[in-house]
Chains A and B, each alone.
Chain A
Amino acid sequence: MNLPQIVQYCLSGITVGSIYAIVAVGFNIIYNTTGIINFAQGEFLIVGAMTAISLCRIVPLPVAIVLAVLVTTLLGGLVEIVFIRRVSNASVLRLIVITIGISIIIREAMLHIWDEKVRSMPYFTGTAISSIPILGAYISPQVLWVLGVSSIIVTGLTLFFRFTLTGRAMRACADDRMAARLCGINDRWMVTLSFMLSAGIGALAGCVISPVTQTQYDMGAPLAIKGFTVAIIGGLGNSMASVAAGLFLGLTEAFMMSQFEVAYKEAISIVILLLILMFRPSGIFTRREVSDLRTL
């Protein structure tokens, strides 16, 4: 393979990897605050994208995106208040099952509101055929948008969680909810906030990847599966690790494709996931006490 080919594969891997990463980042917010894996995360992306696509016909693009993000943020908060809050002391099993149920309901609602057709957002800059040459390979400008938005989101979140009071409060809830409460933190509001934040980021992600991946009502689940595969590979709760793991997975898939049959590509991510779960459940980039992850 010559240099342009290699660069092209790398770019392809980075494109896909950043899509995975951006979904994983959304998971981590909720996981960090509540310890729940939110199976409905993928749906937030699609709701955001679908809303923006519908609004695009009435208002200019940036306004449509902002409105879509707001709507989805409210949806996230609603979901938390109506469903999650009632079962705040439930077992992990019950919570997993509830978020699965929520994802099904949202998806079916989308089917009946928007129907089954494939749609996509207009490209932010350029058109479907614009491409930017890099080192002999080509990339769509939208991919740079995806990379750019992901970086901003991740940086923003890291700063938020490390330096702002609210962010620190949310982390405190994850560590020990009772202790956080004793410190005067309104833990129930923190949980709602985490869902809202996660939903909003999901919506933004959905809008920015929509021109690249196109949007269909049932795309939430496969995106979510890839997203938490990446989150676990990096280490649940660690956003930076998710990004690294996402890029790692994307590049691995791209290079596997170049050497072997493309048909096996999907199996790669699952095999890596299972291997990680079996041998290093805390993830490649994170260390955690074994007792947190394993039972007797």
Chain B
Amino acid sequence: MKLRIYRPVIACVVLVVLLQVVLSATGAIYYMTQVTMAAYYALVVIGLCLLMGYAGQVSLGHAGFFAIGGYTSGALTTCNLFAYRDTSLVSWFRSAGLVLEWQDIYGADIVSFSPWVALGVALILTGLIAFLIGLPVIRLKGQYLAMATLGFGLIIYRVVLGVHVFGQADGISNVPPFRLMDGLEVNGRPSFRVQNYYIAWAVVMVAMVLAINLVHSRVGRALRSIHQSEEAAHSLGINTYRYKLATFVLSALFAAVGGVLLTHYNGSIGPSEVTVIKSIRYVTIVAVGGMANLWGVLLMGIILNFLSLRGVFGTYDDAVFGAILIAIMLFAPDGLLRMPQLRALSSLLSRRLHG
């Protein structure tokens, strides 16, 4: 494995640390909040990039996987078993360390599942659902696949909107922080800000390393050949179906992790995370970043979500995403960083510099 492919990772880590130092020094530490939130959303688009850019499959329902992760974790960590704490099942949970006993900020006693358990359940559930949905649906072509994933996203939306345990229209709030180990917590409080910034970026870097490994491995090469020409890949003996399904499930898991961690960071989750608009935003970000350009997608994900969360686009938020989407599709289909004009500009600059 050539180590050269990890150079961007090192560069990114350096940039991340630099950013934190700069922000802390200038007292603008509060920007980290939006960067952290954007980093968790970026997990979704990294997975989606693998699916759309490398495996060539469209998914208009990826917010659904984010929601499965977030809602499962939210529901398990807020369901109060205090009243049942002496029953045999719950006592067993307590002895096995699967539940936590804590008090919320109003002083009420809560017995709920530990976030690690919730994370595990969320991942298993997401993987299972992605697998079951993917089995029949991955076979479909272009628009049929798009419609099926759209339908999947809508079903998840209806479920969280209708089921009482998921808080229905108001969502789940009072989600406790996620204690990773002593002193490290996924928590939205101001005192944990720098810590959470690094936790989020650590998770993103792990995801990127995984993704890069995948792309440069046999699987990645198989995926790229499928994307180029499915018939040719198939004739070479590549089991296209299995690779596409595996990528679909993997991208779903990435989204679920993002969902779990953001839910704990925000302390809540709502049906607005599962709308068609959210899924379309993820697709927009992948398209703008350059369908198969992992770093471009990460960068665009951070920037666009950062700006959107800060309210920079004001009442034109959705319009901006729509406009960017169209502009990129028309003028820079390979993503912003590979725009022909940009390329021309940089080659001009490099000629000036070196010539």
Contacts and interface: CB of A to CB of B under 8 A. Distances in A.
A37 interface: yes
- Chain B binding site: helix, strand, loop or mixed by DSSP? helix
A221 interface: yes
Nearest to B324: A101
B280 A100 contact: yes
Nearest to B152: A274
Given A266-B158, A295-B139, A228 B147 contact: yes
A296 B58 CA distance: 16
B319 interface: yes
Given A108-B316, A294-B139, A296-B230, A232 B147 contact: yes
Contacts of B329: 87, 90, 94, 97-98, 101
Residue of A97, A221, A225, A278 with most chain B CB atoms under a 10 A cut-off: A97
Given A83-B330, A108-B316, A108-B319, A277 B148 contact: yes
What's the interface size class on B, roughly? 35 or more
Interface string A219-235: 00100010011001000
Contacts of B323: 101, 105
Contacts of B280: 100, 104
Greatest chain A CB density within 10 A among B58, B143, B146, B154 is at: B143
Nearest to B280: A100
B137 A96 contact: no
A94 B231 CA distance: 20
Contacts of B159: 267
Contact of B151 (A90, A104, A270, A293): A270
A271 B143 CA distance: 18
A88 to B, nearest CB: 12
**Which of A100, A274, A293 has the largest count of B CB atoms less than 10 A from its CB?**
A100
B155 interface: yes
Contacts of B60: 96, 100
A270 B141 contact: no
Contacts of A296: 230-231, 234, 240-241
A173 interface: no
Interface in B178-237: 230-231, 234
A48 to B, nearest CB: 20
A288 to B, nearest CB: 11
A249 to B, nearest CB: 14
B8 interface: no
B321 interface: yes
Contacts of A92: 58, 141-143
B140 interface: yes
Interface string B69-87: 0000000000000000000
A15 B344 CA distance: 57
B155 A271 contact: yes
What is the interface of chain A mostly: helix, strand, loop, or mixed? helix
Interface string B145-174: 011101110110011001000000000000
B48 to A, nearest CB: 12
Contacts of A109: 319
Contacts of B56: 93
A204 interface: no
A98 B330 contact: yes
Nearest to A232: B147
Given A104-B322, A105-B323, A296-B231, A270 B155 contact: yes
A49 to B, nearest CB: 20
Contact of B143 (A96, A108, A270, A279): A96
A200 interface: no
B58 A93 contact: yes
A91 B152 CA distance: 23
B309 interface: no
Interface string B309-323: 000000010110111
A96 B59 CA distance: 11
Interface in A70-101: 83, 86-87, 90-94, 96-98, 100-101
Contacts of A108: 316, 318-319, 322
B59 to A, nearest CB: 10
B325 interface: yes
B283 A97 contact: yes
A263 interface: yes
B276 interface: yes
B137 A101 contact: no
A273 B147 CA distance: 9
B330 A105 contact: no
Interface string A103-136: 1110111000000000000000000000000000
Interface of A: 37, 83, 86-87, 90-94, 96-98, 100-105, 107-109, 221, 225, 228-229, 232, 236, 263-264, 266-267, 270-271, 273-274, 277-279, 281, 292-296
7 closest Cβ pairs, A-B complex:
A104-B322, A92-B142, A108-B319, A101-B325, A278-B136, A101-B326, A105-B322
Interface of B: 52, 56, 58, 60, 136-137, 139-144, 146-148, 150-152, 154-155, 158-159, 162, 230-231, 234, 240-241, 276, 280, 283-284, 287, 316, 318-319, 321-323, 325-326, 329-330, 333
18 contacts: A37-B146, A86-B330, A87-B330, A87-B333, A92-B142, A97-B287, A97-B329, A98-B325, A100-B280, A107-B318, A232-B144, A270-B151, A270-B155, A277-B148, A279-B136, A292-B141, A296-B230, A296-B241
